[in-house]
Amino acid sequence: MKTDNIIKHFKFLNRNMYADGTYRTYLRGVLHIILSIIYFLKIIYDFIYYNYNYKYYIYTSCKLYSYSMSAILHTYPFCEINNCHLFSVLDWMGIVINGVATSYPFINDIYINTYFKFSFWSSILMGIITLGQLKSTKYNLIFLSNLFRWSQIYLVTFLTFINTFVDTYLLNFSYNLLFKHLFLYIAMFFAFLKYTTKKNMKWHFKDYNDYHEDFHFFIIIYDIFSYQLCKKYFLKI
């Protein structure tokens, strides 16, 4: 198969298992690398050529952190389980930070500090839950592992609702706002399928992609509409 020959030339694509033995698709992390590079270059470009408010840089920096942690977790060939687990914790914390960051540009300066603290402690809570999930799985504590896993899902779902509430409260209705959250909930649907079913869709190729890649595909679309909102209501460009 031609695709297999291509994969052999890329070390981060040429493995289907993480250091702790959990399954990994070959394409896992590729989108994260691309988006990390895009956000990194965009931050530099904006800093040089524009004079945006600090809230914009919080927004883009949080995006960069989230995608880069995911890129490292999914593509770096960790040999030590503890290192793999460390970046798994940072990755899940980044999911929280990524989700709440899209509302930063629209928060009033009076409330920005409170919202930042909410984001920070939510990410810390996610880190603790993720660490518990990893440790309980390592010692084969199935009940605790499932409890922590569903706690991760419920926390992300709760923060998704918070993000939607904040945006709809602060912003006037627009199609950018509508489609931003529409694609967010579509992405969440595929994230839910990842942990609740083993049946693949017709567009999934065995060992190459699954619901994780579906989730990130719709998150990319979500990010596009999120940035359009940022331009219209904050950047004024």
Tens digits of residue pLDDT in 178-217: 999 999 999 999 988 988 888 888 889 888 888 988 998 9
Least confident piece of the model among 66-80, 131-145, 161-175, 183-197: 161-175
Q: Which residues of 5-16 are buried (b: 16+ CB within 10 A; e: fewer)?
A: eebeeeebbeee
The reported pTM is 0.86
Q: Which residues of 96-126 are buried (b: 16+ CB within 10 A; e: fewer)?
A: bbbbbbbbbbbbeeeeeeebeeebeebbeeb
Q: Mean pLDDT in the chain?
A: 86
- Confirm if 7 and 25 have CB atoms less than 8 A apart: no
Residue 78: Cβ within 10 Å count: 17
3-state secondary structure of 237: coil
pLDDT over threshold 70, residue 170: yes
CA angle 53, 115, 112 (to 5 degrees): 35
Token pair 């994230």 is found at 191
pLDDT over threshold 80, residue 12: no
